[in-house]
């Protein structure tokens, strides 16, 4: 019983001291991260990365619009046309109008 009590007191003391050290270390890491993020060089690179992502998103949007436009005009492979292998491809609208069965 005394051994358990000593162990419990030791565990409690270690927990309290560890929690204090843990919070101090957390605050230290968080402060350093904030300093790093505030660095003008980091902000410059973050801005460059944001610009690249915006450009790529614009390019992707154009590709999607072109592909959707092709399909809407009946120029895409999904318009029920036959592929080079001769297999018939059905669109989602054809499947839904036939109860999910393709022809």
Please state, in angstroms and rounded to a whole number, the distance separating the CA atoms of residues 43 and 41. Answer: 5
**Cα angle 86, 87, 90; round to 5:** 135
The tokens describing 36, both together, are 């790093």
Paired strand residues for 88: 82
Structural domain boundaries of the chain? 17-55
How confident is the model at residue 84, as a pLDDT?
47
Asked whether residue 90 carries a pLDDT value surpassing 80, the answer given is no
Count other Cβ atoms within 10 Å, centred on residue 76: 15
This prediction has a pTM of: 0.42
Q: Residue ranges of the alpha helices (H) in the chain?
A: 2-38, 40-72, 92-97
> Residue 57 has which token pair?
């998103």
Q: Which pLDDT tens digit goes with each residue over 26-66? A: 788 889 999 999 999 999 999 999 999 999 999 999 999 99
pLDDT of 100 strictly over 70: no
How many CB atoms are located within 10 Å of the residue 49 CB? 10
């Amino acid at each position: 019983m005394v051994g358990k009590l000593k162990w419990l007191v030791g565990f409690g003391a270690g927990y309290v001291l560890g929690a204090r050290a843990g919070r101090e270390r957390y605050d230290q890491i968080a402060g350093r991260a904030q300093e790093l993020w505030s660095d003008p060089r980091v902000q410059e690179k973050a801005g460059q990365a944001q610009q690249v992502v915006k450009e790529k998103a614009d390019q992707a949007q154009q590709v999607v619009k072109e592909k959707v436009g092709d399909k809407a005009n009946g120029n895409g492979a999904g318009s029920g046309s036959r592929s080079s292998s001769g297999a018939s491809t059905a669109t989602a609208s054809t499947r839904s109008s036939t109860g999910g069965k393709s022809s």
